[in-house]
Chain A
Amino acid sequence: MTRYILRRLISAIPVLLGISVIVFAIMALIPGDPATAILGSYATPENVARLNEDLGLDKPLIQQYFIWLGNMLQGDFGRSFALNRPVLDEVVERFNATLVLAGTSFVLCSVLGIVAGVISAANQYAWPDKGITFVVLLGISIPSFFLGMMMILTFAVNLRWFPASGMWPIFGDRDLFALIRHLTLPALALSVVATGVVARLSRSAMLEVLRQDFIRTARAKGVPERGVIWRHALRAAMVSIIPVLGIQAGFVLSGAVYIEVVFQWPGIGRMLVDAILRRDILLVQGGVVFVAACYVFFNIVVDVAQSLLDPRIKT
């Protein structure tokens, strides 16, 4: 198992290098430069040239890339032009906020999705199955950012039950309850689509398992129906559900970008959107590489979890 994990980790290196090259190239290709962004409307070509020189942006691209990569390998992601603080500080701080949001959504979509899928499968073609299928299809079809806006309109503006934006109250204690109040709407909006997907796939995975011989044996031995479904069948179905969850983890993480903008959640998605608009090159590059590294890491974790669950997967 250790060798397997090690092999997976080593294979991640070329992936991350490739990502760094692509991100760097894209940022170099995007028109508009940080000097103009910093100097604003009064940017004369001379001042722009001088500032670019100060920022080291006049060097050949290849040289810029290797300087950046070299610094990054030593843990120095550079300094954000627009925020005037180290990129890594900003990225880590914002990533924590994203993890809270995406993590909650992931738990929500996993639990709700699996429960809904199991209930659907256990009652195939009966009304709970039809009801859940309808709700799930509705959920999958509504874009999360639109749902988010509608939630703000209903629950923040009209009913005033929840705050419309932000992660913490501006005044008062920053306790768990305050966080939950701010988290409820964005986490729900973010998890709806993923919940639908998990529910659909859990349903089919369960149906497949329920047709198998060992389920018939269990029933014949007199195991109660609840035990058959939740203990025997779900456990077997988890082998096909876990990779789906892995994909959904990535999905909620990337979906968080829209939700963070709509709800002004101070996470990494909103940070990247702002940074791109401000041509804050180092922040975008550092942020994307960091997020990519997390993706790769999550993938490895999912694969390892799956191999632990299913002995048929060769390590």
Chain B
Amino acid sequence: MALLSWTRRMALAGGTALSLALAAGLPAAAQTPPGVLVVGQVAEPQALDPHAVTAVNDFRILMNVYDGLVRYASGTLEVEPALATDWEISEDGTVYTFSLREGVTFHDGSPFNAEAVVFNFERMLNEDHPYHDTGPFPLSFFFSSVDSVEAVDDLTVRFTLTAPYAPFLSNLAYPTGLIVSPAAVREHGAEFGRNPSGTGPFTFTEWRSNEAVVIEANPDYWDGAPDLQAVVFRPITDANTRVAEMLSGGIDLMVEVPPVALSEFQGDAFEIVEQAGPHVWFLILNMREGPFTEQAVRQAANYAINKTALVEDVLEGTAEVAAGPTPPAFAWAYNEELEPYPYDPDRARELLAEAGVENPEITFFVTEGGSGMLDPVAMGTAIQADLEAVGFDVTIETYEWNTFLGRVNPGLEGEADAAQMAWMTNDPDTLPYLALRTEAWPEQGGFNSGYYSNPEVDALLEEARTATDQDRRAELYREMQVIVQEDAPWVFVANWVQNAVTSDRVEGFALEPSFFLLLDDVAKN
């Protein structure tokens, strides 16, 4: 009995101590200071060097630390001046001359000028540049048309292109075109990605591995100091923990809310923000061998898949049905008259019968996850069910994302008949030029893994990227979309509507169609 009363005393004491500790912890729990925005990120950034990274997750930080020569006007994908105040394009569309903003300095105190711009592009493009080994620069091909960059005078920089290239300005507004401090690159070399310095609205303060990247307001920002004092980007890789952290008040803003968790944030304490962006989710069809060599079979697949159900049920309304290869977010280049293939299993069966293949066997590559892939496994199985309902015999093979890319990017020949894919781009040229032209077949280094080839489309795309007049470009892209939809080299499935949730303490926040996170006009009380 003595033993028991002793343990009871102990339990009592322990319990009291614990509840005291809890009570002491209460007021401090889950309260972030005003003026400091805590953002829940989906992963730790790879590096804070805009030329060395490709992930949207990293871009969300980078766009607040750096500026480009130009940028997308708020809420659009139209280019407006940033570090360049204006520019001239030569008659033939091959020479771009930029006038640079005066009196801008990098966060490390070094001046921004034409030499700095030259250094940035030489580092990326010139293999002999002393700092080229601070790469790799996976997106440097965005500027592969650049023949030379020269400083005309301190505040004028001239780009000469090998051929006219209409998406050039738009690519300059992309993170790959952001301007980094040459002095910081010289000082830190390969460590620059952990010691970033730009000209943006926020300056880099510290990077605590696996905890947070902290940036503070730049009071001398040329476009006006931001309202926030600081932003803290916290990597929280587990989606459930991210949701829990948002609900418990540990973060003020979270991006990429899992569709199933959206309902948790209904009510006054939170605001759900949405924005459609230039994203397309599609199936690449193998046109070199197998049943999809027949146009009727490809169209049948487009009719057979219930895209509305995918978007509404699997993705809980976080996407819209795609009509063609160009997402509606490129408003000026999008063909409004294009209607998505309707869900019509009977028509699909008819087309299969016409093509003389009643039960085509197909191998379908599905990925477990990946950039912009939404919910690929659930979508893959739903697509399999829809295809099988009209007579296809579908075998799914699932791969981890990097493995998946390693199998799909070199071409589907001998591998599969269909593969999932998603692209997020900044210009209507990028995706079709890299993935639909004859010259973009994988053996030529492109991403046309399904071997689609239509000389008409090739001609339209070539002309569109050299046309300097935007109306003319728009006309060409609209025409291209009609042809591609009819040829059906892909099954056009969805355009992602990105989302984010903020707490009610956050004001002035909006998502950008570019998928970037721009925080200089955001406030938090």
Q: Which of B26, B29, B194 is most buried by chain A, counting CB atoms within 10 A of its CB? A: B29
A157: Cβ under 8 A from any B Cβ: yes
Which of A6-14, A57-65, A77-85 lies on the face that meets chain B? A77-85
Closest to B49 in A: A84
Tell me the bound Cα distance from A266 to B238 in angstroms: 13
Closest to B400 in A: A32
Known: A40-B371, A163-B250. A170 touches B232 (CB 8 A): yes
Which of A20-28, A46-54, A287-295, A307-315 lies on the face that meets chain B? A46-54
- Please, how many residues of chain A have a CB less than 8 angstroms from a CB on the other chain? 64
In contact, A167 and B406 (Cβ under 8 angstroms): no
Closest CB in chain B relative to A117 CB, distance in Å: 13
Closest to B237 in A: A274
In contact, A41 and B371 (Cβ under 8 angstroms): yes
Known: A38-B138, A43-B409, A164-B248. A83 touches B423 (CB 8 A): no
Closest to A172 in B: B28
Known: A31-B399, A84-B191, A119-B3. A45 touches B211 (CB 8 A): no
In contact, B403 and A165 (Cβ under 8 angstroms): no
Closest to A39 in B: B138
In contact, B241 and A152 (Cβ under 8 angstroms): yes
In contact, B36 and A166 (Cβ under 8 angstroms): no
Closest CB in chain B relative to A188 CB, distance in Å: 11
A42: Cβ under 8 A from any B Cβ: yes
Closest CB in chain B relative to A38 CB, distance in Å: 7
Known: A32-B402, A157-B244, A262-B241. A170 touches B47 (CB 8 A): no
In contact, B236 and A264 (Cβ under 8 angstroms): yes
Which B residues lie within 8 Å of A156 (CB)? 30, 244, 248
B445: Cβ under 8 A from any A Cβ: yes
Q: Which of B250, B370, B371, B445 contacts A46 (CB 8 A)?
A: B445
Q: Which of A43, A152, A167, A264 is most buried by chain B, counting CB atoms within 10 A of its CB? A: A264
B260: Cβ under 8 A from any A Cβ: no
- Chain A 137-177 near chain B by CB (<8 Å), digits 1 or 0: 00000000000010011001100111111111011100001
B109: Cβ under 8 A from any A Cβ: no
Tell me the bound Cα distance from A224 to B2 in angstroms: 10
In contact, B7 and A119 (Cβ under 8 angstroms): yes
B395: Cβ under 8 A from any A Cβ: no
Q: Which of A36, A84, A172, A180 contacts B405 (CB 8 A)?
A: A36
B13: Cβ under 8 A from any A Cβ: no
Which A residues lie within 8 Å of B6 (CB)? 226
- Chain B 30-60 near chain A by CB (<8 Å), digits 1 or 0: 1011001010000110110000001100000
Q: Which of B236, B238, B372, B406 contacts A36 (CB 8 A)?
A: B406
A37: Cβ under 8 A from any B Cβ: yes
Residues 174-193 (chain B) with a chain A CB within 8 angstroms: 190-191, 193
Closest to B423 in A: A41
Known: A123-B4, A162-B25. A39 touches B136 (CB 8 A): yes
B523: Cβ under 8 A from any A Cβ: no
Closest to A149 in B: B240
Tell me the bound Cα distance from A83 to B48 in angstroms: 11
B210: Cβ under 8 A from any A Cβ: yes
In contact, B244 and A161 (Cβ under 8 angstroms): no
In contact, A166 and B211 (Cβ under 8 angstroms): yes
B118: Cβ under 8 A from any A Cβ: no
Tell me the bound Cα distance from A180 to B22 in angstroms: 11
Which A residues lie within 8 Å of B71 (CB)? none
Which B residues lie within 8 Å of A119 (CB)? 3-4, 7
- Which 9 A-B pairs rank lowest in CB-CB distance, beginning with the nearest? A40-B54, A32-B402, A266-B210, A32-B403, A31-B403, A39-B138, A164-B244, A36-B402, A157-B247
Known: A42-B138, A152-B241, A274-B237. 14 other contacts (CB 8 A): A39-B138, A41-B372, A44-B442, A46-B445, A84-B193, A128-B4, A160-B26, A164-B244, A164-B250, A170-B211, A170-B232, A226-B6, A229-B3, A274-B43
A residues lining the B interface (CB < 8 Å):
31-33, 36-48, 51, 54, 82-85, 90, 93-94, 115, 119, 122-123, 128, 149, 152-153, 156-157, 160-168, 170-172, 177, 180-181, 224-226, 229, 261-264, 266, 270-271, 274, 277, 279
Q: List 8 A-B contacts (CB under 8 A).
A: A31-B399, A39-B54, A41-B405, A44-B445, A83-B44, A84-B191, A165-B241, A226-B3
